[in-house]
Amino acid sequence: MIIPIARIEREATEAAKLYSDVNAACPYPFDSDAAHAFKAFFKTARNAALPTVPDLKGGRVWRKA
């Protein structure tokens, strides 16, 4: 079965709002191409949602983990 990448991205982005653990969020078989894509989109969405904290010494911006 072929799953459109846009669908996987949409599902992963929505799941990132509800779950902190990608393994609990991913609806695809663990080692499938769809799961790998889901995990990448999920990670991107989770990282984008994290607040940033400025580093006053070096002027860099770090993401809270």
Q: What is the pLDDT along the chain (65 residues), one digit of tens a residue?
A: 899 999 999 999 999 999 999 999 999 999 999 999 999 999 999 988 776 665 566 656 556 55
Supply the pTM of this predicted model.
0.75
The number of CA neighbours under 13 Å toward the Cβ of 1 is 5
Q: List the domain range (segments joined by +) for residue 37.
A: 5-63
The domain total for the chain is 1
The three-class DSSP label of residue 61 is: strand
User: Please, is 46 exposed, middle or buried when counting C-beta atoms within 10 Å of its C-beta (0-12, 13-18, 19+)?
Assistant: buried
